[in-house]
Structure 1
């Protein structure tokens, strides 16, 4: 179905044509007529299906019908997103679709100065795209009123709940008029999402373009079994050997993101990490460099990568499986977007067996697994983790570890056995004092995934450098 058949304004159709859009996607075909009719919508769709245009185009059409009525510009449409990156991308899309319309759009999120937001609001805005935290800041300061709101969109509502925004969302709802159109979009329909929809939506139209909790059909999924300590080595090997030019790698924690990026740079791969501790400016620069091909590998945590819309992203790598099975769907949805093919590879170690089972149960699919020659798993738990992802305490060392000898002596004495005192060091002058116990080295259960850095052979590093410069 073409966009010309959907009843949209000629000004909107002109922008759509200029963007090269021809045929509406399935979610657009279903959502646009329902939203134009003023209905509340509960939409279930994976990322990359065109849902942003699916709610934005009819929203703009409805705003245009009443434009110019009343006095000062006030916020008439609000789009809530879970992350800064998604807010920026949705805002950018709205500006493109509204290119020939007389609307002012503001994108507001935390991590940057609030002053530009305040200045824009004083001039008057029609459409606000915001994260919950920054929106509450604006409301609390009295800089913004939402009494004239006509349309509310909750984009990626499941992620907002996962990130703990439910309290913020309910506070925001109290500032909204009762009479409004509400559109809620989610990649998954958990019980919490259904409960939220019951509270916010009035007799909504349900739109699902793919089965609940399914993964995109155009994404080729596979598992590579490997020991946790060799994951980094295998990852660098695959990128270099296959000459992959754009790879998104997911990890669980900020610390591992930084450490992995640092080690892959030493492997000769241009790599950068993004996570919540990075400034918004640094995150924006990293994403821009990745999009432009200046950076070959982007290492990201789930929160930082949520909503990333990157054209032609052929490879997503799960360096670690997510703790929450639904996050797997969101991760691999970064590739295979808008009908393009893509590949999602998960590097799975023995201690991640439970997470893999949970993911396969959720998506209703047994993911094909393989073993890479030269990286065969040992079948043993890692040094720092046991099956079930339990953390091991720092082991006692038999070779001259002061704490081990000291503790051993205390335990033995408690059983009535003689114990050798820990070695003493003569002090200056008369008498002596016991040596200070050696500091116990902290072992972080989460900071695992690769052995201490062993730089690859020079020939392989040179290959990586050469490949990265190829057009």
Structure 2
């Protein structure tokens, strides 16, 4: 399992409340990390703080400890304490990160013997609004931890007995956790709405792993003269984005060997706690079932899967994986980027990226699931021969050096592709998932941020379908039209997909019902639209988006240049949009006039047509 490497600095401030120090000591947090040593005193001095620190550097305790310290002082000095008055608000980008922060905060509060006057409440999606309102009315919420979308919805919900905005007047602390991720997920409008509901006299902390222009705008909008903190790892390059205790490797695999190399790697590094990242939900669903089948005879190997579509089951999966601490078992979490940021999963030994992430920033966050809080960790990126240039791109853009790990000899390792194909030919559910996974992989690859380096034209699609996905048949998709498919899986070309049974009885019943009554099956039909209409719709959407951006920029002080640039774009697109609308009106009226001319009616002039239309 992961080993420790001391990267901690000073001991906890002796002026902190003894209850907090007692809890930290009980959790073996004897010293502060650098980000905690710098940030906590600033919060307690009533400063706004903007923190940039690598993932796994202990940012969560850097804001939870000062919040609790302030609350304990407030409780000791005030006899009357309204549990419904919100003292602190913590905004997290995902429900998993919000749940993790809530669990840590609750654990602190429950350790404070005899203090039941303040509480912590969680507002995230996946539950009914009525449930959140009832919990708040019954238990209060001195500390509110929420995702921005749900908190914005609750702010707009006002009844005789519930008005969240009125209880924010006493707010003293606002925390924006993983702020860059909040913006990536499109929560800027929600955050600005929340800003408007909060008192101006407050302390604000913004925590992020990266600093961007969008973050700067957010800082100008929500923070007052913040102290800027950038924490770098000792012993690493000055701009390196990954922890210094992390060893990064890459492996070049031939397309027809990739799955075999993955299984061999897991077997060679057992016992271990491993996370395997894939690009899409469909890939996680498919490879999760494949790994469970391949390791079904190994009682010491547990496979978990998590992706966005699991909804309310995600918290359970995270807790199960987190609870696995055996030093004799191998635990594997097959996942998407839903757990790439902020989630603390202790003692992860290896992070494997089965294919390049869509952005280099996500590469950094994926790797950050291991080597947390000074522990040692390892990360492996599996690449195809045409993707090797991605290694240098990571070095130049993120200052992350990767060391090559030689792939095992293909002739000396087990070939699991026939086993997986046998599984697919015995269960139509797996067969369908395999094709869906491959299609989603190709679509994600085509949208990659580094499309100049990772070109779909250079990707051996048939090789990947055979060796990485172990497909029985190739799906019908435009990307395969001009590819040589003659050598793909010659052995199973006679397999009839329609004759493969579904092992899942409920799925088999559903498919049979859809077969008997085609109206039950809802298909997403792509409507064919004329190019001129497509262009008009595209321009209209772009015009709306730019106007929204203009409104956001106008809210932010000091963004005059951005406003001017947006206005310029709006004028250009508005003119182009007007011309296109005029042309389309003329086309429609010309068509009408031709019909009228045939019927002997008088034809209108061009100007008369436009005036009549307007």
TM-score category (smaller protein): 0.7 to 0.9
3-state SS in 2 of match to 1:277: helix
* Alignment correspondent of 1:165: 187
User: What SS class does the counterpart of residue 287 from structure 2 fall into?
Assistant: helix
Cα shift at 1:167: 1.9
Q: CA deviation at 1:75?
A: 1.2
Which moves more between the two structures, 302-311 or 347-356? 347-356
Residues of 2 paired with 1:120 and 1:174: CA distance?
25
Which is richer in helix?
2
1:385-423 Cα shifts (integer Å, max 9, x gaps): 897343799x9xxxxxxxxxxxxxxxxxxxxxxxxxxxx
2: distance between equivalents of 1:444 and 1:54?
51
1:174 aligned onto 2:196: yes
Higher relative contact order (CA 8 A, sep 6+): 1
Higher deviation after alignment, 226-235 or 169-178: 226-235
C-alpha contact 1:56 1:94 (8 A) present in aligned 2: yes
The one of 101, 116, 123 aligned to 1:108: 123
Q: 1:136 to 1:321 in 2, by over 3 A?
A: same
* Counterpart residue number, 1:272: 304
Determine the structure 1 residue equivalent to 2:174: 152
User: CA 1:233/1:443 → structure 2, altered by over 3 Å: closer, same or farther?
Assistant: farther
Secondary structure of the residue aligned to 1:44 is: strand
Query: 1:284 maps to what in 2?
Result: 315
Partner of 1:303: 338
1:343 maps to 378
Cα 1:375/1:111, change in 2 over 3 Å: farther
1:261 match: 288
Structure 1 stretch displaced more, 334-343 or 289-298: 289-298
Q: Which residue of 1 aligns with 2:149?
A: 133
Which moved further from structure 2: 20-29 or 70-79?
70-79
Deviations 1:146-198 (A, max 9, x none): 22211000111111112222222112211111111000000111222122112
Cα distance in structure 2, aligned partners of 1:271 and 1:389: 32
Which blocks of at least 5 consecutive residues in structure 2 are unaligned? 1-8, 233-237, 296-300, 412-440, 447-452, 462-473, 481-487, 492-614
Q: Give distance in 2, aligned partners of 1:391 and 1:274.
A: 31
Per the normalisation by structure 2, the TM-score is 0.60
Alpha-carbon distance change, 239 to 71 in structure 1, aligned in 2, over 3 angstroms = closer
- Name 2:257's counterpart in structure 1: 230
> 1:203: which partner in 2?
225
Q: In 1, distance between residues paired with 2:455 and 2:307? A: 23
* CA-CA distance at 1:233 after TM superposition: 2.1
CA distance in 2, matches of 1:311, 1:14: 22
Determine the structure 2 residue equivalent to 1:96.
107
Partner of 1:388: 454
What are structure 1's unaligned runs of at least 5 residues? Answer: 377-382, 396-439, 455-471
Per the TM alignment, residue 311 of structure 1 is displaced from its structure 2 partner at its CA by: 1.3
Provide the TM-score with structure 1 as the length reference. Answer: 0.78
Aligned residues: 400
CA separation of 1:323/1:6 partners in 2, compared to 1, >3 Å: closer, same or farther? farther
Q: Matches of 2:170 and 2:270 in 1, distance apart?
A: 53
1:58 alignment partner, one of 66, 77, 95 = 66
Aligned mates of 2:315, 2:83 — CA distance in 1: 33
Secondary structure of 2:197's counterpart equals coil
Paired with 2:478 and 2:91, the residues of 1 have a C-alpha distance of: 36
Distance 1:311 1:71, change over 3 A: closer
- Aligned-partner SS, 1:110: coil
Superposition deviation, residue 6 in structure 1: 5.0
- Tell me which moved more, 357-366 or 43-52: 357-366
2:347 is aligned with 1:312: yes
Which residue does 2:429 correspond to in 1?
none
Q: Is the 8 A contact 1:189 1:212 kept in 2?
A: no
Whether the 8 Å contact between 1:274 and 1:283 is mirrored in structure 2 is yes
C-alpha contact 1:248 1:316 (8 A) present in aligned 2: yes
Residue 42 (structure 1) aligns with: 50
How far apart are the structure 2 equivalents of 1:103 and 1:70? 8
- Within 1, Cα distance between the matches of 2:148 and 2:454? 35
Task: Note the C-alpha offset of 1:59.
Answer: 1.5
Aligned match of 1:194: 216
| Matching residue within 43, 62, 79 for 2:90 | 79
Q: Give the CA RMSD over aligned residues.
A: 3.0
The structure-2 alpha-carbon separation of the partners of 1:96 and 1:233, relative to structure 1 and needing over 3 Å to count, comes to: same
Any idea what the Cα deviations from partners look like across 1:10-61, whole Å, max 9, x if unmatched?
A: 2222222222221111111101110100100011112221111111111211
Judged with a 3 Å threshold, the aligned counterparts in structure 2 of structure 1 residues 64 and 96 are, in CA distance, closer, same or farther, namely same
Residue of structure 1 equivalent to 2:424: none
Aligned equivalents of 1:76, 1:165: Cα separation in 2: 23
Contact 2:83/2:118 (CA < 8 Å) preserved in 1?
Answer: no
Report the Cα distance in structure 1 between the residues aligned to 2:479 and 2:290, rounded to whole angstroms.
19
- Deviation of residue 444 (structure 1)? 8.3
Kept in 2, the 8 Å contact 1:91–1:107? The answer is: yes
Distance (Å, rounded) in 2 between the aligned partners of 1:79 and 1:304: 19
2:241 to 200, 205, 214: 214
Give the Cα separation in 1 of the matches to 2:239 and 2:125: 32
